[in-house]
Amino acid sequence: MRTLIPGRRRRLPAAVLAALFLPVLAGCGTDTSSGPETAGAASPAPSDDVTASLTKNAELAKLLPENVRAQGTFRIASAVGAPPSAYFPDASSHRLAGLDIDIADAVGRLLGLRPERQDASFEAILPALSSGKYDVGTGNFGVTDERRKTIDFVTYINDGQGFAVRKDDNSLNKVTSLDQLCGKTIGTGAGTTFEATLNSRKSVCADAGKKPYTVRVFSENGAVLTSLQQGRIDVVMSTINGLRYQASQPAAGVRFLGEFHRLDVGFAFDKGSPLLKAFQSAVNELIDDGTYARILKKWGTEDSAIEESRISPPETT
């Protein structure tokens, strides 16, 4: 245990596509949505509660500021996208599910805190942390050097960037360099690491003597897959875990092109938050006691496991 101190394809209606593909588009980003094979239904969440046995760890709780221990809650903003990160498996209940949700709930139980959760748009969470509206944010937030200037992170998974195409598109098999995308139209989410990567490296096509690629940015949930299926974009750039999950849903008609770049993902905090050490120690306790592995297995993300949580590590290059 660690020391606790530090041919022809059938086109689906747009409404069905929206249900199939809530955005893979956040921080890295929120992930792809559930890919139900029945129109308008969300993919059911795994039913096993792998955090039910957790109770307050008094030593971990001592790492919290006294006022936080006394109030017994923390304010958390969660960007809602899709499996496996955070989504609504049943819209009528408005109850969130996903890896981000389980990890945050498990940390809260160990610290003796109840999460006061609000779902929020991805773009709004980081500024709201700096303004004091929330104590912590989740949304598959990738740890980048640019973000570390104003935001601190406590890492809990290693995800990153990947690409997907229509299942019947054989023009690409795996993207290892952005110059493979020259001449194509790429869809991604606003304010994400994907958008930043694509825009900052557009010169690769000119350097290779090729036609530039075009970046189309989306903010609405179902718009990316709708555009992909209708041929208005050629490629989607989003999270590895989200795209891999989406490709496993036959009705979506998506083919995952593999990992492009890995990034640490973590809870986001205002710079210098007094909650950092407590959250980091709680994640490490989850890793040590096996709860962390059970959560990742539940959501099929074992390949994204980390060995130890860190506070604001340098960006993975």
Each residue's pLDDT, cut to its tens digit, for the chain (317 residues) gives 444 433 333 333 433 333 344 434 444 544 433 332 222 334 556 778 899 899 999 999 999 999 999 999 999 999 887 789 998 888 777 889 999 999 999 999 999 999 999 988 888 899 999 999 999 999 989 999 999 999 999 999 999 899 999 999 999 999 999 999 999 999 998 878 899 999 999 999 999 999 999 999 987 656 887 899 899 999 999 999 989 988 988 888 999 999 999 999 999 999 999 999 999 999 999 999 999 999 999 999 999 999 999 999 999 87
pTM assigned to the model: 0.81
* Residue type at position 106: A
User: What does the pLDDT read at residue 34?
Assistant: 33
User: What does the pLDDT read at residue 44?
Assistant: 57
Average model confidence (pLDDT) across the chain? 85
Instruction: Look at residues 62, 173, 144, 97 and name the one whose alpha carbon lies nearest to residue 312.
Output: 144
Tokens matching residue 314: 């340098």
**169 with 9: CB under 8 angstroms?**
no
User: What does the pLDDT read at residue 246?
Assistant: 86
Contacts 24+ apart (CB under 8 A), 88-95: 88/42, 89/34, 89/42, 89/43, 89/44, 89/45, 90/42, 90/44, 91/42
**74 with 115: CB under 8 angstroms?**
yes
Interatomic CA distance for residues 223 and 163, integer angstroms? 16
**128 with 134: CB under 8 angstroms?**
yes
User: What does the pLDDT read at residue 132?
Assistant: 94
Tokens matching residue 316: 């993975």
**258 with 228: CB under 8 angstroms?**
no
User: What does the pLDDT read at residue 133?
Assistant: 96
User: What does the pLDDT read at residue 7?
Assistant: 36
For residue 150, the Cα-to-chain-centroid distance in whole angstroms is 20
